[in-house]
């Protein structure tokens, strides 16, 4: 699995109470995406909207704890969504 998608998988796992989060998590776990673009292309509109919210929170958290690598990796996916 791509490093960026591993960071995303870890972030999504923090929201396991949500049905959309579980759907995204399962896609990441069970599909072998070549890259972030392939993953984003596999998302439906609701998953994209949900991921937009999660990524915003996760990026802010990573910035607050000064985890620059996590910020960079999560931003890569965030930018592909739009």
Listed in sequence order, the residues at least 6 apart from 47 whose beta carbon sits closer than 8 Å to its beta carbon are 20, 23, 24
- What confidence tens digit (pLDDT) does each residue in 55-78 have? 999 999 999 999 999 999 999 999
- What confidence tens digit (pLDDT) does each residue in 15-58 have? 988 999 999 999 999 999 999 999 999 999 999 999 999 999 99
User: How many angstroms separate the CA atoms of 18 and 21, rounded?
Assistant: 5
DSSP string, 38-52: HHHHT--HHHHHHHH
**Taking the domains of the chain in order of start, what are their residue ranges?**
3-81
Is residue 18 exposed (0-12), middle (13-18) or buried (19+ Cβ within 10 Å)?
Answer: middle
Quote the Cα angle for 14-16-21, to 5°: 95
């Amino acid at each position: 699995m791509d490093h960026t998608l591993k960071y995303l998988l870890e972030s999504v796992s923090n929201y396991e109470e949500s049905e959309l989060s579980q759907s995204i998590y399962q896609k990441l776990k069970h599909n072998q995406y070549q890259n972030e673009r392939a993953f984003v292309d596999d998302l439906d509109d609701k998953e994209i909207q949900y991921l937009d919210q999660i990524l915003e929170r996760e990026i802010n958290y990573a910035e607050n704890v000064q985890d620059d690598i996590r910020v960079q990796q999560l931003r890569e996916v965030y930018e592909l969504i739009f």
